[in-house]
């Protein structure tokens, strides 16, 4: 499974967009990009995933570069409740579907 690289921490002002980058330069053609977040010490929560097209849902948008070597998770209007650790994961849905979790990005949304 491909590995990902994320900045360890980021800050964002409340109400502004939070843009969280992820590098996955060794991603293979059949690997998806997944984003999860973990608030305090709760169980991780799924946010969004994509293969090569940009995706949007009620929580966030996912922008994947054309070469698929990096992606950006966008929280369009960050709130204090978005303060969490955000994990970017790549996974091949065709294998045993195990996810490899890195250290993620700790996002602090400030008032």
- Site for another protein, rule CB under 8 A: 32, 34, 36, 41-46, 49, 87, 91, 93, 96-99, 101-104
- Cα–Cα distance, 43 to 15 (Å, whole number): 25
- CB closer to another protein, 4 vs 70: 4
What's the closest the beta carbon of residue 36 comes to another protein, in angstroms?
Answer: 8
Residue 78 vs residues 27, 83, 98: alpha-carbon distances, Å = 28, 9, 30
What's the closest the beta carbon of residue 97 comes to another protein, in angstroms?
Answer: 5
């Amino acid at each position: 499974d491909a590995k990902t690289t994320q900045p360890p921490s980021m800050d964002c002002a409340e109400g502004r967009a939070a843009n969280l980058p992820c590098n996955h330069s060794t991603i293979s053609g059949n690997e998806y990009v997944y984003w999860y977040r973990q608030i305090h010490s709760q169980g991780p929560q799924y946010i969004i995933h994509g293969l090569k097209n940009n995706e949007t849902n009620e929580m966030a948008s996912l922008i994947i570069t054309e070469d698929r070597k990096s992606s950006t998770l966008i929280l369009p209007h960050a709130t204090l409740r978005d303060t969490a650790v955000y994990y970017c994961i790549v996974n091949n849905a065709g294998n045993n579907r195990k996810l490899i979790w890195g250290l993620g990005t700790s996002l602090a949304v400030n008032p």
